[in-house]
Amino acid sequence: MALLFYSQFDDPADWGRHLRDAMPALDFRVWPEVGDPRDIEAALVWKAPEGELRKFPNLKLIINLGAGVDSIVKDPTLPEGIPIVRIADAEMSRMMTQFVLAAVLRHYRDFVPFARAQRERRWHYIHPREAATCSVGVMGLGSLGGMAAAELVRQGFRVAGWARSPKSLEGVESFFGGEGLAPFLARSEILVVMLPLTRETEGILDAKALARLPRGAKLVNVGRGQLVDEDALIAALRSGHVAEATLDVFRTEPLPADSPLWDFDQVLITPHLASVAIPRTAARQVAENLRRVAAGEPLLNVVDPQRGY
């Protein structure tokens, strides 16, 4: 089987090595060295140029090289009827969990006021609180949010989660759907956003939703920038309603140099890297899906383009 690889962010040599380990007979082709387009039966892609995937008449499977599928499902030129799968793997969830934990601890353990005090050569004692008094809300309880919520429970936080459907995760209070959103936000001192970007979730954290957070709330966004109304967030940071933030994703990436978000010392900006697909472990899952598509068996981690995730 010939697999086309396209990504501006991931190392094709690393992927090629691990994929061949998992599937020695694989014909691995790295864009733009495609060869005969009729040979290509599967594509492992991250943000492929629009129209590119239409060039392969024998394409049977599209594999999104990552967890978030918003850029692929909104591509109007995507060939119809070809299944789309994504990478959802425990190592990727672990990497995200580490990032979320670091961000939550930064807010919970007052690292922001300590950094400020240090710059002013000021000894600033803030008596530490017990984690059980700190309410953390996790928006999105999928393969990433579920593991992060469990880790926050392990750390002793008061954890709630919000998803489309009810969840029973040990130690996590479950909120769901439209009705669950307002009470969920109202109890989230630290809000961690790990939703996919879909028609339903775009702009979900607008001025009204941010106003429902308790005053002085802290925001961690590792989902997608478009989930948050950036102007409303900037206004909330200026008023202090949102006291601090850790932002890994933005409406426009790279974040433009003139964005006011750069100016807040209480905002930590990281360049969209909270978690990435790890070839060593994810290659096995890609190979398994290639085997399944060839055998006509049900695929793993299938994306529903209508639902958008």
| Distance separating alpha carbons of residues 281 and 95, to the nearest angstrom | 13
Build a one-symbol-per-residue string for 157-186: x at contacts with ligand NDP by CB under 6 A, - elsewhere: ------xxx---------------------
Of the listed pieces 51-59, 75-83, 140-148, 253-261, which binds ligand NDP according to CB under 6 A?
Answer: 140-148
**Residue from 226, 275, 285, 289 binding ligand NDP (CB under 6 A):** 275
Q: Does 194 bind ligand NDP (CB under 6 A)?
A: yes
Build a one-symbol-per-residue string for 214-243: x at contacts with ligand NDP by CB under 6 A, - elsewhere: --------xxx-------------------
Query: Shortest Cβ distance from residue 156 to ligand NDP (Å)?
Result: 23
3 state DSSP class of 248: coil
List CB contacts of 129: < 8 A, sequence separation 6 or more. 108
Phi-psi group of 143: left, alpha or beta (phi > 0 → left; psi -120 to 50 → alpha; rest → beta): alpha
**Residue (38 or 280) nearer to ligand NDP, CB:** 280
* Tokens read off for 39: 């040979």
Of the listed pieces 42-50, 105-113, 137-145, 254-262, which binds ligand NDP according to CB under 6 A?
Answer: 137-145
The answer to whether 186 and 165 are in contact (CB under 8 A) is no
The one-character DSSP state at 121 is T
Q: Does 107 bind ligand NDP (CB under 6 A)?
A: no
**Residue from 213, 248, 290, 293 binding ligand NDP (CB under 6 A):** 248
Of residues 4-33, those binding ligand NDP (CB under 6 A): none
Phi-psi group of 7: left, alpha or beta (phi > 0 → left; psi -120 to 50 → alpha; rest → beta): beta
**Residue from 272, 282, 283, 293 binding ligand NDP (CB under 6 A):** 272
Is 272 annotated in the active site?
Answer: yes
| Distance separating alpha carbons of residues 300 and 111, to the nearest angstrom | 41
Q: Which of these is catalytic: 224, 238, 251, 292?
A: 224
Q: Which of these is catalytic: 29, 86, 164, 272?
A: 272
**Residue from 64, 97, 188, 198 binding ligand NDP (CB under 6 A):** 198
Q: Does 137 bind ligand NDP (CB under 6 A)?
A: no
Q: Does 152 bind ligand NDP (CB under 6 A)?
A: no
Sign of the CA dihedral 47, 94, 222, 275? negative
Q: Does 192 bind ligand NDP (CB under 6 A)?
A: no
* Tokens read off for 58: 């024998």
CB atoms within 10 A of CB 107: 25
Q: Which residue is nearest to ligand NDP (CB)?
A: 142
Q: What is the 3-state secondary structure (H, E, C) of 30-88?
A: ECCCCCCHHHEEEEEECCCCCCHHHHCCCCCEEEECCCCCHHHHCCCCCCCCCCEEECC
| Distance separating alpha carbons of residues 214 and 189, to the nearest angstrom | 6
Is 224 annotated in the active site?
Answer: yes
The residues that touch ligand NDP, with contacts defined as CB under 6 A, are 66-68, 88, 140-145, 163-165, 194-198, 200-201, 222-224, 248-249, 272-275, 309
Active-site annotation, residues: 224, 272
